[in-house]
Amino acid sequence: MSQAGKTKFQIDLRRHLREHYVNENLTHLICEIAEASKYIIHSISTGELGVAGTSNLYGEQQLALDVLADRILRKRLDHSRVVANMMSEEMDEIIPVSPDCDGKYSVAFDPLDGSSLVDVNLAVGTIVSIFEGCDLLQRGRKQVAAVYILYGPRTTLVYSVGKGVHEFGMNMLREYTLLQENITLEPQGNLYSPGGQRNLYTPGVEAYVQKLEDRGVKLRYSGGFVPDINQVLLKGQGIFFYPHLQNQPQGKLRLLFELSPMAFLIEQAGGAASDGRRPILDLQPEQIHERSPVFIGCKKDVALAEEFIRTLENQEEGPTEKKAKN
C-alpha cells in the first residue's frame, strides 16, 4: 500500500468532520449517531428476532429490533445536549428534547429501515436527517446534514454536511475510518432498482421501465432502501425508484425519514431525486409521516423518468400535486 493510502485509512470520523470545519455541536451529534449504531449492529448480530408485540403506525408488525434500535438512538440523542427536537419513524409525534434551540439541531430518523429483512439476514440500515434549530417540518434542502449506516456484511457509514459525500467503514475496534471521500455519480447508469408491484405501475412509469430495459439496464433490487441506495452511490451509477402506484398515489417511502436524507446525499454526489415532477428536496412536508413517490440516482435517468411521467400522465394520474417552495 502506498504511503498516501496508509494515511487515508487512518482518518476517523471525528477527525474527518473537524478537517471539514464542521462545528463542534454538529460533530458531536454525528459522532453520537455513529456511537448509537455500534449498539444497533450489536443487537442485530446477537439479538432475538421475536416480535415486540406492538404494531407501528402503518399497522406493520414491529420486530423487537425496530423497537430496540429506536430506543438506542433516542436515548443517545436525548443525552447528547445538542438536540432540540427529534422524531422517529416508529413514533407518532415529535419528541421535544430541549426548549432552547440555539446552537442545537433537530433530528428525524428511521432507526432500522428494512427491518422485515432482518429475519432473512439481508442488509438493513439506519437513516438520519439533521436540521439546524427546532423545526423538523422543513424542506429537505434545509437539511444541514444527512447520514446513513448500512448493516451489511460490513458496517459502513455515509455522511454529508453539504461538502461532498464520504464513506466510512467500521473496523475491528468498532471505529469508523475513512473508506472513500467525495463519492460521485455518473450522469447515466446501467442498473435499476424498482420498488412496488409492476402491474400497478402507471402508464408513464411502465413506459419508462420498458425504455430502461430496452437499453439493457440490469435489475438490482434488494428490498432494503439503504443497501439499494448505497449500491447506486458506490457503484457510481443507477436509479432507485419506488413510484406512485395505481392504488397508492403517494408510493410507500416516507419523505422525512427516508427520502429527504437520501435525496440530500444523492444530490451531494451529483445525482438527482424527484417525486416524478419536482425535486424531493423542494417538497414542503405538511405531516410527519407523509409519503412520496421517488426516482433517485443518476441525473439523466431521473430526468428521463420525469419526462415519461410528464408526457404520458395527466395531473390526476401522476403523483398528487404538492406544494414545492422555492
Residues that bind ligand F6P (CB under 6 A): 113-114, 195, 223-225, 228, 252
Query: Grid coordinates standing for 200?
Result: 400497478
According to DSSP, the β-strands at 105-113 and 83-88 are parallel
Q: How far is the CB of 232 from ligand F6P (least distance, A)?
A: 12
CB of 252 to ligand F6P, least distance (A): 6
Binder among 110, 167, 267, 275 for Mn ion (CB under 5 A):
110
Could you tell me the smallest distance in angstroms from the CB atom of residue 55 to ligand F6P? 15
Helical spans, DSSP H, in the chain: 3-9, 13-19, 24-46, 64-78, 203-214, 225-235, 260-268, 299-312
Q: Which stretch binds Mn ion (CB under 5 A): 11-19, 77-85, 112-120, 214-222?
A: 112-120
> 225 vs 264, which CB is nearer to ligand F6P?
225
Backbone angles phi, psi at 175, to 5 degrees: -105, 145
Which among Mn ion, ligand F6P, none contacts residue 195 (Cβ within 5 to 8 A by kind)?
ligand F6P
Closest CB 198 distance from ligand F6P, rounded Å: 11
Specify whether the backbone of 222 is left (phi greater than 0), alpha (psi in -120 to 50) or beta.
alpha
Report what 238 binds from ligand F6P, Mn ion, none; CB cut-off 5-8 Å by kind.
none
Compare residues 258 and 306 and give the one whose CB is closer to ligand F6P: 258
Contacting residues for 280 by C-beta, under 8 A, at least 6 apart: 140, 255, 259, 260, 263, 273, 274, 292, 294, 296
The span of 16-24, 65-73, 113-121, 292-300 binding Mn ion (CB under 5 A) equals 113-121
H or E segment to which residue 55 belongs: strand 51-55
Shortest separation between residue 223's beta carbon and ligand F6P, angstroms: 5
Cβ-closest residue to ligand F6P?
225
Q: In angstroms, what is the minimal distance from the CB of 224 to ligand F6P?
A: 5
| Binder of residue 252, out of Mn ion, ligand F6P, none (CB less than 5 to 8 A by kind) | ligand F6P
Asked if residues 211 and 273 have their Cβ atoms less than 8 Å apart, the reply is: no
Which is it for the CA torsion 213, 216, 222, 224, positive or negative? negative
What minimum distance in Å lies between the beta carbon of 77 and ligand F6P? 20
Please report, as a single letter, which amino acid is at residue 226.
V
The answer to whether residues 86 and 57 touch, using CB atoms and an 8 Å cutoff, is no
User: Which partner in Mn ion, ligand F6P, none is near 306 (CB below 5 to 8 A by kind)?
Assistant: none
Complex with ligand F6P: residue 189 or 224, whichever CB lies closer: 224
**Residues pairing with 128 in the sheet:** 109, 147
113 is an interface residue for Mn ion by CB under 5 A: yes
Q: Is the C-alpha dihedral spanning 99, 105, 111, 114 positive or negative?
A: positive
Contact 211, 304 (CB under 8 A): yes
Q: Which does 159 bind (CB under 5 to 8 A by kind): ligand F6P, Mn ion, none?
A: none
How many residues are there in the chain?
Answer: 326
Q: Which is nearer to Mn ion, 111 or 276 (CB)?
A: 111
The residues of the shown chain that bind Mn ion, judged by CB under 5 A, are 110, 113
